[in-house]
Amino acid sequence: MVPEPEPESRRGGWRLARETSAYLRSAAEQAIDWHPWGAEAFDIAQRTGRPILLDVGASWCHWCHVMDEGTYSDPEVARLLGQHFVAVKVDRDQNPEIDRRYQRQVNVLTGEGGWPLTAFLTPAGEVFLGGTYFPATDGHGRPGFRRVLKEVARVWKEEPERVRENASAVKGALGRLAAARAGSRAPKANGLSAFASGVVQEIRSSVDPVNAGFGGAPKFPHPTAIALLLWDAFSRGEAASADRARETLLRMADGGMYDQVGGGFHRYSVDEAWHIPHFEKMAVDNAALLSVYVEGAQRFGEPRFDEVIRGTIGWVREVLADPAGGFGASQDADNAPGDDGSYFTWTRAELREALPPAEHRLLSRFFGVDTDGRMPHDPDRNVLFRLLPLAEAAEGLELPGGPESALSTGIETLRRVRGKRPTPTVDRAIYADLNGRLIAGLARAGAYLGDESVLADARRAADRLLRDAYRPRTGIAHRLDPAGPVGFGLLEDQVAFATGLLELGGALAEPAYLTPAVSLLELIDREFRGEDGLLRDVAPHLYDGPGVGGVGEPSYPLEDSPHLSANAGAALAFLRLSALVHDDRWTEKARALVTAMSSRIGNGGLFAAGAALAAGWLETSPASVVIEGSGPAAEALARAARRAWHPNVWVFEGFPPAPFSGAGETGTEDREGAPRALVCFGTACAPPVAAPEAIAPLLATGGRPTTT
């Protein structure tokens, strides 16, 4: 039975107006009869015999906005969709499990992926055609969506066998891919070490020798690959790995991908030299980059890295922080329909109007105005990137306070001026995975900087989600809606939030954060296991979303994309917990998981960096530093310990409470005498040291014997 048509007053995207997603609500005024993801849309497709048009996008996605403002606002497109299709719109941040499945299906069919994702489904949820961005009419080297919709409708009606063949081809390709991975060779003796070495070699071979980073344009940051290079330099003594990691961090920090005025990182660089970014700023990127810049600052002592850490924290606080605790998801690239980064870019006239003459000349030289940062579609607008050393940019200029003061004053002036512009939209949705990643990054950064206010920000976020979105038996919900927690049973949330709690609990030595972290990791170990001991992205017994569209099919997030995969993140969390509480059971769980991952993904290059890092940690003794005593001397030791680097180290000021210390194994609670640091690797401890400058070299040995 065909449903009665909606009355005129209810046509269009009215169903989206009641959604919590800002991205979905933004399409509520379109003439298209959009449905949110759920059983209703699939039921209508079944009853009417129509295919489903699935659009997956996000509030931060520039081309999603372009397609909404152009293609989906086209009256003929709306007419064709209403006549021949059931239209479903999905926010990929709100439903990553849906995005993951349909990205894979479209990719094996067309070789395309990304956002917006445009897929045509059978009423059973199987992809038979798909792509990404389509203009309304032919253009941008792509067929117009009007023509695409007419042809898909014709094929659906006149060539059902072709639809079945395409859907079957997708299933077959995914099946062959799974079989190939399952049948790949198991690791041999020393397999994990060889696996890590192989991935490192592939990553090192992909490094851009001119611009640093990995590969060509577009260029993504790949922070986990940088962390892997740092581990390789530490464990294997590969100086070239350290050099490539350092140069990549420096080039990203000086490029346009880092917001030189407002702090924080844009998503990626459209060019290979890091000059022109794709302007959206995302919590997931900035959390990962914050953590790896802390590692870089500890390892290299670069003052520029400290500036980036503080600038990134400043952006997170100013733009993403929720007054009630926690952080939003992203900041849009655009501030109006048809815009492309004008909030973040500058004309020479705008700079001249904002700055005094000498500062204008300094900043124009320093930030490469009218050089490679000019926007391709509007060469008058410039992305600011660091082109010259400051001393060279200041040559011949009268700067009474000196170049550093003039630069700082000029940047602050540009911040004030930019703040008066129309501001790109911020998605303020509270997602557990993103908050977990930010809690971890802020905890590490706060400890490194010795900044209690940064740790307090991480604590407020953790406390809010623990109070409002966490259930001991079901874990952490994906998102915190006004009506309460929604979206239980997703692996990435459990892994990321547990990791955040571990980092915060370790930084503060507070068991109150360790207890739920352990509970979440136990939940992962119990509820998410699938074939070969790998972790599924959805736990069938915990998932509370609609069971339509193949969500029940097992899916295993093994590869970084480019963010740390959930399986690799779980292995690293197991190892962090093992080092924190001295419980080897968690090390063995990590070993089993990484062994299974390595046999599935092979050498995998950049996209296997997380698994390789976990494999590397398995052959690296974790470290712990306990500072005994009190007063200025003890504070100096603690400061030195937190600014020193080791791939997997915990630092405690004073004898830590159980279960952090493996009670009684290191340190004494009531010792008298001068402050000292006890540095241990696994269960072996070095002689105590009293000089702060001795801690970093000692950690750098990794517990290995040194020769003189």
Lowest mean pLDDT among 112-116, 643-647, 691-695: 112-116
Is 196 within a domain?
Answer: no
Q: Tell me the C-alpha distance between 558 and 567, whole Å.
A: 6
Average pLDDT over residues 427-443: 98
169 plus 277 within the same structural domain = no
Number of Cβ within a 10 Å radius of residue 152? 20
Lookup result for tokens 């949820």: 125
Q: What is the pLDDT of residue 139?
A: 76
598 plus 464 within the same structural domain = yes
Q: What is the pLDDT of residue 311?
A: 98
Q: What is the pLDDT of residue 343?
A: 96
Percent of the chain whose pLDDT exceeds 70 = 94
Is 504 within a domain?
Answer: yes
Residue 182: pLDDT band by 50, 70, 90 thresholds? low
420 plus 438 within the same structural domain = no
Helix (H) or strand (E) holding 233: helix 223-236
Do 273 and 372 form a contact (C-beta atoms < 8 A)? yes
Kindly state the greatest CA–CA separation across the chain: 88
Q: How many residues does the chain have?
A: 708
Is 705 within a domain?
Answer: no
Q: Tell me the C-alpha distance between 209 and 411, whole Å.
A: 31
591 plus 632 within the same structural domain = no
Last residue of a domain, one of 142, 165, 181: 181
Q: For 11-32, write each residue's pLDDT tens digit.
A: 678 999 999 999 999 999 999 9
Is 583 within a domain?
Answer: yes
Q: For 270-327, write each residue's pLDDT tens digit.
A: 999 999 999 999 999 999 999 999 999 999 999 999 999 999 999 999 999 999 999 9
Q: Tell me the C-alpha distance between 148 and 156, whole Å.
A: 12
Average pLDDT over residues 594-614: 94
Is 193 within a domain?
Answer: no
Is 190 within a domain?
Answer: no
257 plus 172 within the same structural domain = no
CATH of the domain at 601: 1.50.10.20
Q: Tell me the C-alpha distance between 226 and 235, whole Å.
A: 14
What are the structure tokens assigned to 406, written together? Answer: 């003039």
Do 265 and 256 form a contact (C-beta atoms < 8 A)? no
Q: What is the pLDDT of residue 585?
A: 96
263 plus 392 within the same structural domain = yes
Lookup result for tokens 């603690």: 638
371 plus 224 within the same structural domain = yes
For 226, which DSSP code? H
Q: What is the mean pLDDT of the chain?
A: 93
Residue 176: pLDDT band by 50, 70, 90 thresholds? confident
Q: What is the pLDDT of residue 448?
A: 98
For 237, which DSSP code? -
Last residue of a domain, one of 427, 449, 471: 427
Q: What total number of domains does the chain contain?
A: 4
Number of Cβ within a 10 Å radius of residue 178? 15
Q: What is the pLDDT of residue 705?
A: 76
544 plus 565 within the same structural domain = yes
651 bridge partner residues: 625
For 204, which DSSP code? H
Task: Tell me which amino acid residue 523 is.
Answer: L
626 bridge partner residues: 652, 678
Quick check: helix, strand or coil at residue 109?
helix
Q: For 376-404, write each residue's pLDDT tens digit.
A: 989 999 999 999 999 999 999 999 999 99
Q: What is the pLDDT of residue 660?
A: 83
Average pLDDT over residues 160-180: 81
Lowest mean pLDDT among 175-184, 259-268, 458-467: 175-184
437 plus 406 within the same structural domain = no
Residue 2: pLDDT band by 50, 70, 90 thresholds? very low
Q: What is the pLDDT of residue 662?
A: 47
Is it true that the peptide bond before 218 is cis, omega within 30 degrees of 0?
Answer: yes
Average pLDDT over residues 529-548: 94
Is 192 within a domain?
Answer: no
Average pLDDT over residues 607-624: 97
Q: What is the CA radius of gyration of the chain?
A: 26
137 plus 234 within the same structural domain = no
Is 313 within a domain?
Answer: yes
Q: How many CA atoms lie within 13 A of 325 on its CB side?
A: 18
Last residue of a domain, one of 427, 459, 485: 427
599 plus 661 within the same structural domain = no
Do 30 and 72 form a contact (C-beta atoms < 8 A)? yes
Residue 150 has pLDDT above 80, yes or no: yes
Percent of the chain whose pLDDT exceeds 90 = 86
Lookup result for tokens 């940051």: 221
Looking at the whole model, is its pTM more than 0.85? yes
Range of the domain at 588: 432-618
Q: For 473-524, write each residue's pLDDT tens digit.
A: 999 999 999 999 999 999 999 999 999 999 999 999 999 999 999 999 999 9
- Rounded to the nearest angstrom, the gap between the alpha carbon of residue 667 and the centroid of all alpha carbons in its chain is 37
Residue 577 has pLDDT above 50, yes or no: yes
CATH of the domain at 71: 3.40.30.10
91 plus 131 within the same structural domain = yes
Do 428 and 322 form a contact (C-beta atoms < 8 A)? yes
